[in-house]
Amino acid sequence: MTQERESRPVRNRTATDLGGNQIDSHQSSAAHPQPAGSTYARRAWARALIDRAGGQSIPRYGSVEWIQLPEAHPVKIAAVVVAAEAWATDADTLPGRLEAEVDTLARAHKRAEDADYRQRMDAHRAEWQNTPVKPRPQRGDASVPLEEIGRRYRLQVINGGGGAA
């Protein structure tokens, strides 16, 4: 049994950053409301935390400069959010990038396969182009010379289908 969820726009949803400060994840997106859990909402929340760094240089997450910052420092929190957003953005674009990579590799493989086929076909054609076509032996052993097959056929016709000599 499934329960239907009521679909309502999320308004003024707030979150708490690592420093205990309230952050309105929709403050910059009020003109363009997005569903909860959307990439847009996540990025707006991240942007609000990063903006709290006040334009200061944000060190790389885990660097010596980052480690030396106090725990609740807005720049330290911003560095963590930047790192998290990099991972999230990578995950957002991963399916499309993988699809494009697989498509590119498949096309390259097909081009190489076609080129190999054309090369083998041209070599086969060159090998057989000037080779006369040999008639297939009729009935019987393929090792029997064609003249012998013809002689047997003529005897068979003369004898009225009676049997081979």
Q: To 5 degrees, how large is the angle CA 25–CA 28–CA 34?
A: 65
pLDDT over threshold 50, residue 14: no
For the segment 3-28, the average pLDDT, to the nearest whole number, is 43
For the segment 52-64, the average pLDDT, to the nearest whole number, is 94
For the segment 63-67, the average pLDDT, to the nearest whole number, is 95
User: How far is residue 63's CA from residue 157's CA, in Å, rounded to a whole number?
Assistant: 100
Enumerate the domain spans of the chain.
Answer: 14-128, 133-165
CB 88 within 8 A of CB 42: yes
Q: What are phi and psi of 41, to 5 degrees?
A: -65, -40
3-state secondary structure 88-106: HHHHHHHHHHHHHHHHHHH
pLDDT over threshold 80, residue 136: no
User: How far is residue 34's CA from residue 37's CA, in Å, rounded to a whole number?
Assistant: 9
Please tell me which residue, 141 or 145, carries the higher pLDDT value: 145
pLDDT in tens, 83-133: 999 999 888 889 999 999 999 999 999 999 999 999 999 999 888 887 777
pLDDT over threshold 90, residue 149: no
pLDDT over threshold 50, residue 6: no
State the pLDDT at residue 97.
Answer: 93
pLDDT grade, residue 33 (50/70/90)? low
Structure tokens at 86: 């990099």
